[in-house]
Amino acid sequence: MSIKEEMGSMTSRRGRRLGATSLLLILVTSLPVSGQETAIALSSPSVFVGSEADGGATFSRISDVVPLPDGRFAVGDDGNIELLSLDPEFGIVDVWGAHGQGPGEFESVRGLWIDGARLYVLDTRAGRITGFSADGLVEETIALELPPGRVGSPELALPAALGGKLFLGGLSASPPEGGFSADILTLMRYSDDGAFEAALGSEVTLSRFHIPGFSGAHAFSPRASIAGFGSDVYLGNGLAPSIRRFSVSGVERDPLILSGLPEPPGAGEAWEKVDSLLDVAELPARVRGWLADQPRDPRPVPSYSAFVVDAVDGTLWVKEFNPNRDYAVPSVRNKPGGVWHQIEPSGATVARYAMPDQFVLLRVHDGRFIGYTIGAFDEHIVTVYERP
């Protein structure tokens, strides 16, 4: 049986998912407000796919949503470990790949990008990249070489392909100090055949609680971010109001200074939020006591928590860090949403957009905000808003 026949056989067995339809809602919104004093609020989404209410698909943990050249969309679901193809109206029409180690199979689905007509999928656990044709056929498999000094599968995320090179962010953790550790994002350049070439820069990106016997709690959580456009690769850490820039050849350019971001909250204000969460969170007594006993760390709080780049025009979009949304402790539900800045080449904010609660922005593309909404049962729902 060919790979394509095997894919078709598998998708036909999952008729419930293939029968999903998108719920299209009419967008009603106001025109943008001039100036930066007021963030532009979004109205109803134009696309909302994957909720239990529509009787169709459910997504476990969406890692990326990518527009394809022919108008379709590809969705990476790292929870179900599969890749789905959606038509231009966001109805699910095919499932590419499955959980496994063979050709066209994944151990994880972490990042998607387009190069020409080919869709590439980054599998961090397997340490490889798979290239699919527009019809879902496996055309290329690239094994990623481990950087010097690393053991085991590389932890890679958020790929960007520029100038025949692959740029990936690799995360590693520093030893914990007083209950905290720092995740370090390193920008790594690979050749198009997966050979490691150089590490271009490293940034501390995350301060995390390490609670003895209880994983998953964290305090300050700017998302590790890299992006690429034209001849530049962007590396962000959130701990300073700037984004580093590198050329394809590895030369570091002047950083992009983000002049329009508000002053980040002080560490004291962030700890006040932790204390308020302790008052309402359903935490085991030992965890509550551990958090209460921690020294109130004076380290700086991030200026921003994430950024993306519009692949059409290169505009940067940067999310303000907000301690009410960008960190959590166990059993306390996050509300991602937040305010995103549209950034011009000088680094100045030209507009601000207030994203709805529970919406996680993944891409800005051709006048659309593309991402997912976290549902009532923590399922992910593909969601698209038209830019006002």
Token digits of residue 193: 């055949």
Q: What is the residue-averaged pLDDT of the chain?
A: 75
> What is the reported pLDDT for 345?
84
The pLDDT of residue 259 is above 70? yes
Query: What pLDDT is recorded for position 351?
Result: 93
pLDDT digits (tens, 9 = 90+) for 68-113: 888 889 999 988 898 988 888 777 778 888 888 888 899 999 889 8
Cα distance between residue 40 and residue 65, in whole Å? 23
Q: Which of 22, 156, 19, 14 is nearest to 98 (CA)?
A: 14
What confidence score (pLDDT) does residue 143 get?
A: 92
What percent of the chain stands above pLDDT 70?
67
pLDDT at residue 8 greater than cutoff 80: no
Inter-residue contact 10 to 17 (CB < 8 Å): no
CA distance 274 to 284: 15
The pLDDT value recorded for residue 368 is 92
- pLDDT at position 35 over 50: no
Give the pLDDT confidence of 190-239 residue by residue, as tens digits. 998 999 998 888 876 655 544 444 444 444 445 557 888 888 899 887 77
* Measured torsion, CA atoms of residues 387, 336, 25, 366, in degrees rounded to the nearest 10: 30
Looking at per-residue pLDDT, the higher value among 74 and 173 belongs to: 74
Q: What does R_g of the chain's alpha carbons equal in angstroms? A: 21
pLDDT tens digit string along 269-301? 666 766 776 766 666 676 677 667 766 665 566
**Nearest one of 259, 228, 224, 270 to 341, comparing CA atoms:** 259
**pLDDT at residue 139, rounded to an integer:** 92
Spatial strand order of the sheet with 165-173 comes to 156-162, 165-173, 180-191, 196-209
What percent of the chain is modeled with pLDDT above 90? 20
Q: Indicate if the pLDDT at residue 23 is higher than 50.
A: no
Residue 22 has pLDDT above 60, yes or no: no
pTM of the complete model:
0.79
Residue 105 · residue 99 · CB < 8 Å: yes
Average pLDDT (110-139) is 89
Query: Does the pLDDT of residue 343 top 50, yes or no?
Result: yes
Q: Which residue has the higher pLDDT, 260 or 263?
A: 260
> Which residues, 6+ apart, have CB-to-CB distance to 363 below 8 Å?
64, 65, 66, 67, 308, 311, 369, 370, 371
Question: How far is Cα of residue 147 from the mean position of the Cα atoms in its chain?
Answer: 23
CA distances from 113 to 36, 86, 122, 153, 286 (A): 32, 15, 9, 21, 44
In the chain, what is the straight-line distance between the N-terminal and C-terminal CA atoms, in Å?
48
**Of the spans 40-49, 144-153, 220-229, 319-328, which averages the highest pLDDT?**
40-49
